[in-house]
Amino acid sequence: MQNASSTHVKIMTADPSGIGLFGLAIVTLVASSQKLGITDGLSYAIPWAIFLGAFAQLFASIQDAKHNNTFGMTAFGAYAFFWFAMGTSWLIKLGVLGPELAAGVDGKQLGFAFAGYLIFTLFMTIGAMETHKVLFFIFVLIDLLFLGLSFDAFGIAPELFHGLAAYAEMGIGLLSLYGAGAAVLNVHFGRVFLPVGRPFGIFKARA
């Protein structure tokens, strides 16, 4: 009688941080250009929100789940669905989904969503402290973005907080581009080509 044997197969998957950060970078650059008045309208912002902000980050989230990376999976997934929702909200605002929906828009509802994302991002900022410093500062800027969006949506000093959101979002785009480049080139060259900064080492010991 033969003994039953089992074979273990290890599936290797690449680090999805590069494509996830790239998607975040492009959508925030496009969206911030509109907030800052550099560009006009939302028509061309919508496809970048859906395909770069949403699908690229959703892909990164799914790949991070395969890495058993709860932090990366949650972060990329949460912001992917944010951009799906924002793209759809813009479609409603523009009347694409019908005049009835457009007529019933209440911006304060977005304010509650933005406030919820602000609280979520504050938690994620703490987690980012033990990843690397570039990611930490990206999350700090996302905190400022949602702070500005929340107050603007609720009509509290809208000019001030709209400006805060716009500049924070532009900063997210630029820093995320650097983070995407570092994620790709550091692995590609097998060394630190673009430094991202060591973890703070406050909540867990440095490696």
pLDDT by residue (tens digit) across 142-164? 999 999 999 999 999 999 999 99
- What is the pLDDT at residue 204? 77
Question: In one letter, which amino acid is 89?
Answer: S
Q: Assess contact for 134 and 171: CB atoms under 8 A.
A: no
Q: Is the pLDDT of residue 5 over 80?
A: no
Mean local confidence (pLDDT), 37-47: 96
N-to-C CA span, the chain:
49
Report in angstroms the alpha-carbon separations of 109 from 93, 118, 143. Answer: 13, 14, 19
Q: Assess contact for 45 and 90: CB atoms under 8 A.
A: yes
pLDDT-based confidence at 13, cuts 50/70/90?
A: confident
Alpha carbons 134 and 146: distance in angstroms, whole number:
19
- What is the pLDDT at residue 206? 59
Tens digits of residue pLDDT in 58-116: 999 999 999 999 999 999 999 999 999 999 999 999 999 999 999 999 999 999 999 99
